[in-house]
């Protein structure tokens, strides 16, 4: 590497200095979180029943949300990437709205649709005696709402960068469109699908605003890690720090899982 | 002015604002009183701030939030002249920063139901079998609710433990649950959106709001004046109308 010539010259300070500031801005708060946590007390904090229950619920609901996102998001991404139809651009813009929506707004919107007195929720409750709010299903629903756009965008990007000529070749060899999708398109887009899943999963794991607005907070049912951290902060800062550190560790683990995808391309 | 270079103009502006600050300290002009207060005091404090501004030729800046959060901020040296919390426990968090404390008002727990009380909920026992919410144990209204429920030997579980009393009220107002345990003042604020059920058990578990002047106050005299106004008949009247009790 070091022997390679640098024809473009030295990196200008005008770019290096702001870049270094960006690194400092992102890294310093995380470093201080790690440094100011009471490590000796950490095992006790992390094995507390409330923390274990919340972490387990977070992992289960995030994973369930990821599976739903894959089942619904991959077909939608395929539709957006491979099928020409009127209003495709508008549809793509529409499904990415939750990406930029403040999470608490997402919670309010979900409630107006799926709440116990919501437009869809009320008939559902009367018909089946089931309602999403205050249940783990409601948590998964909130997670899917905020994570699905991540999955769709990541997978669509992967599908677009995969050469459609392979699809065409499969078709000329007599493969149906479903066979082509399943045997050719999907395997080619697999890295993008994997990256999209992990991103969506991580987004679910950190989801807080929509979840607490739509589902409230009850240990074992709707109290996820971010909700527990938010509440713990009101009475016990040290415990909140320890729980935050745990979330940081989980996030880093996700990054490590992604390293093949991102770091190799660097 | 247009001939002045930009830098000189900026300097002139800086000098101008500096002299304005100096005149503040002299005790006339636009003094600013910063009040940190529990969210449940919003309506009362906003009303009283208008009178106060007219009377003292000052600007009142109100910052509302959770009592524990504001107390922690005040102890941390956050700018503020007065702190008002929803209970004594939170005020203790700011003990190092308070200079003069006084009990402000009391609040009591009530039950609110959907308008007209369609489920016929009249006592805490009726919570069994309906969807209801209360505050989480970590926040003051949750501590009061737990005490009242334990006193009445109620074991039925709520569907959610809300992060603050307004979130609890909101779940009832929006029709997501059938009932909730909130402060009397929140029930007053909700007006016709809920029906109030008084809880005789709650009389033994009143919370006391506390107000204090802060050590970091920029205008200690104004801070004292704010306390005086709160404890005056007019302040008392505003508190009573909002549903607060006298300590």
Residue A152 lies in a domain: yes
Q: Write a three-state SS string for A180-238.
A: HHHHHHHHHHHHHHHHHHHHHHHHHHHCCHHHHHHHCCCCCCCCCHHHHHHHHHCCCHH
Residue A264 lies in a domain: no
- The verdict on B125 and B91 lying in the same domain is no
Place of tokens 């830098």: B7
A235 touches chain B (CB under 8 A): yes
Q: Which of A116, A217, A231 lies closest to B176 in CB terms?
A: A116
Nearest CA in chain B to A111: B176
Is the pLDDT at B26 greater than 60? The verdict is no
**Sign of the CA dihedral running B116, B119, B125, B130:** negative
Nearest CA in chain B to A216: B160
DSSP string, A65-86: HHHHHHHHHHHHHHHHHH---T
Residue A162 lies in a domain: yes
Percent of chain B clearing pLDDT 70 (strictly above): 88
Whole-number Å distance between alpha carbons of B245 and B234:
14
Residue B236 lies in a domain: yes
Cross-chain Cβ contact A116/B162 below 8 Å: no
Residue B237 lies in a domain: yes
Helix axes A121-128, A103-114, angle to 10 degrees: 50
Both tokens of A38, joined, read: 């009471």
A222 touches chain B (CB under 8 A): yes
pTM exceeds 0.80 = no
Residue B246 lies in a domain: no
Residue B23 lies in a domain: yes
Residue A22 lies in a domain: no
Whole-number Å distance between alpha carbons of B187 and B117:
14
Report strand pairing: B109-113 vs B82-85: unpaired
Number of separate domains in chain B:
2
CATH of the domain at B42: 3.40.190.10
A239 touches chain B (CB under 8 A): no
- The verdict on B145 and B81 lying in the same domain is no
- The verdict on B192 and B229 lying in the same domain is no
Cross-chain Cβ contact A230/B163 below 8 Å: yes
Is the pLDDT at B18 greater than 50? The verdict is no
- Bridge partners of B132, per DSSP, are B179
Distance of residue A25 Cα from the nearest chain B Cα, in angstroms:
23
A185 touches chain B (CB under 8 A): no
Is the pLDDT at B61 greater than 60? The verdict is yes
Cross-chain Cβ contact B174/A215 below 8 Å: no
- The verdict on B16 and B85 lying in the same domain is yes
Nearest CA in chain A to B166: A213
Both tokens of A2, joined, read: 């070091």
Is the pLDDT at B103 greater than 60? The verdict is yes
Q: What is the radius of gyration, based on Cα positions, of chain A? A: 22
Q: In what order do the strands lie in the sheet with B109-113?
A: B160-162, B132-135, B179-183, B109-113, B195-198
Q: What is the pLDDT along chain A (266 residues), one digit of tens a residue?
A: 455 665 778 888 899 999 999 999 999 999 998 888 888 888 888 888 888 899 999 999 999 999 999 999 999 999 999 888 999 999 999 998 988 899 889 999 999 999 988 999 999 999 998 999 989 999 999 999 999 999 999 999 999 888 888 888 888 988 888 898 888 888 888 888 988 898 899 889 989 999 998 998 888 889 999 999 988 877 777 888 888 988 888 878 877 876 665 545 44
Number of separate domains in chain A:
1
- A vs B, Cβ pairs < 8 A, gives 58
Name every chain A residue with its beta carbon within 8 A of the beta carbon of B162: 216-217
Contacts 24+ apart (CB under 8 A), A160-169: A160/A81, A161/A192, A162/A188, A162/A189, A162/A192, A163/A188, A164/A82, A167/A82
Q: Which of B66, B162, B176 lies closest to A217 in CB terms?
A: B162
Cross-chain Cβ contact A215/B160 below 8 Å: yes
Question: Residue A151: which residues within 8 A CB-CB, separation 6 or more?
Answer: A66, A69, A70, A73, A74, A77, A196, A197, A199, A200
CATH of the domain at A214: 1.10.3720.10
What residue numbers bound the domain in which A185 lies?
Answer: 60-222
DSSP at B246 = P
What residue numbers bound the domain in which B162 lies?
Answer: 109-205
Kindly list the residues of chain B whose beta carbon comes within 8 Å of any beta carbon in chain A: 66, 68-69, 72, 131, 133, 136, 138-139, 157-163, 167, 171, 174-177
Q: What is the ipTM for the molecules in this complex? A: 0.72
Mean pLDDT lowest among B27-31, B161-165, B193-197: B27-31
A215 touches chain B (CB under 8 A): yes
Contacts 24+ apart (CB under 8 A), A91-95: A92/A156, A95/A148, A95/A149, A95/A152
Whole-number Å distance between alpha carbons of B132 and B158:
5
Name every chain B residue with its beta carbon within 8 A of the beta carbon of A226: none
- The verdict on B201 and B230 lying in the same domain is no
Which H or E run contains B40?
A: none
- The verdict on B95 and B65 lying in the same domain is yes
Report strand pairing: B179-183 vs B98-107: unpaired
Whole-number Å distance between alpha carbons of A238 and A234:
11
Residue B1 lies in a domain: no
- The verdict on B113 and B190 lying in the same domain is yes
- The verdict on B174 and B128 lying in the same domain is yes
- The verdict on B178 and B60 lying in the same domain is no
Q: How many C-beta atoms surround the C-beta of residue A168 within 10 A?
A: 12
Name every chain A residue with its beta carbon within 8 A of the beta carbon of B87: none
- The verdict on B128 and B185 lying in the same domain is yes
Place of tokens 């306390």: B227
Closest CA to B148 of B112, B202, B110: B202
Is the pLDDT at B122 greater than 50? The verdict is yes
- The verdict on B81 and B124 lying in the same domain is no
Residue B195 lies in a domain: yes
Q: Which of A216, A232, A234 lies closest to B171 in CB terms?
A: A216
The count of residues in chain B is: 247
Which H or E run contains B90?
A: helix B88-93
- The verdict on B199 and B213 lying in the same domain is no
Give yes or no for a contact between B244 and B62, defined as CB atoms under 8 angstroms apart.
no
Q: Rounded to the nearest 5°, which phi and psi values hold at A143?
A: -60, -45
């Amino acid at each position: 590497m070091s022997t390679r010539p640098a024809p473009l010259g030295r990196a200008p300070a005008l770019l290096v200095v702001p870049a270094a500031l960006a690194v400092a801005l992102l890294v310093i708060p995380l470093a201080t979180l790690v440094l100011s946590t009471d490590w000796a007390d950490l095992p006790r904090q992390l094995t507390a029943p409330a923390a274990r229950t919340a972490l387990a619920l977070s992992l289960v609901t995030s994973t369930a949300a990821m599976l739903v996102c894959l089942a619904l998001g991959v077909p939608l991404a395929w539709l957006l990437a491979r099928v020409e139809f009127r209003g495709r651009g508008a549809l793509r813009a529409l499904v990415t709205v939750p990406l930029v929506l403040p999470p608490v707004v997402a919670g309010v919107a979900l409630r107006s649709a799926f709440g116990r007195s919501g437009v869809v929720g009320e008939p559902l409750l009367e018909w089946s005696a089931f309602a999403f709010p205050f249940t783990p299903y409601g948590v998964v629903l909130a997670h899917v709402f905020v994570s699905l756009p991540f999955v769709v965008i990541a997978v669509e990007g992967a599908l677009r960068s995969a050469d459609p000529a392979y699809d065409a070749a499969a078709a000329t060899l007599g493969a149906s469109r479903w066979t082509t999708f399943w045997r050719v398109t999907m395997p080619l887009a697999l890295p993008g699908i994997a990256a999209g899943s992990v991103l969506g999963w991580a987004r679910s794991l950190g989801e807080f605003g929509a979840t607490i607005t739509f589902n409230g907070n009850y240990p074992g049912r709707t109290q996820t890690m971010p909700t527990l951290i938010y509440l713990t902060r009101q009475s016990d800062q040290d415990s909140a720090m320890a729980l935050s550190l745990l979330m940081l560790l989980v996030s880093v683990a996700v990054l490590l899982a992604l390293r093949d995808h991102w770091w190799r391309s660097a | 002015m247009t001939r002045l270079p930009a830098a000189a103009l900026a300097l002139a502006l800086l000098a101008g604002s500096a002299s304005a600050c100096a005149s503040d300290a002299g005790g006339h002009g636009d003094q600013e009183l910063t009040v940190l207060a529990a969210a449940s005091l919003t309506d009362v404090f906003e009303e009283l701030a208008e009178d106060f501004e007219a009377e003292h030729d000052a600007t009142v800046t109100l910052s509302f939030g959770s009592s524990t959060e504001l107390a922690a901020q005040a102890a941390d040296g956050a700018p503020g002249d007065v702190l008002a919390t929803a209970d004594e426990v939170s005020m203790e968090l700011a003990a190092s920063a308070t200079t003069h404390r006084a009990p402000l008002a009391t609040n009591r727990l009530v039950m609110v139901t959907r308008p007209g009380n369609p489920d016929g909920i009249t006592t805490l026992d009726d919570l069994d079998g309906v969807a209801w919410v209360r505050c989480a144990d970590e926040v003051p209204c949750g501590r009061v609710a737990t005490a009242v429920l334990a006193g009445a030997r109620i074991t039925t579980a709520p569907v959610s433990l809300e992060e603050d009393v307004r979130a609890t009220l909101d779940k009832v107002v929006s029709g997501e649950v059938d009932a909730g345990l909130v402060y009397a003042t929140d029930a007053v604020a909700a007006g016709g959106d809920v029906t109030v059920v008084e809880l005789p058990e709650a009389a033994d578990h009143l919370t006391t709001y506390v107000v204090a002047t802060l050590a970091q106050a920029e205008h200690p005299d104004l801070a004292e004046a704010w306390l005086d106004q709160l404890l005056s008949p007019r302040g008392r009247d505003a508190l009573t109308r909002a549903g607060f009790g006298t300590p």
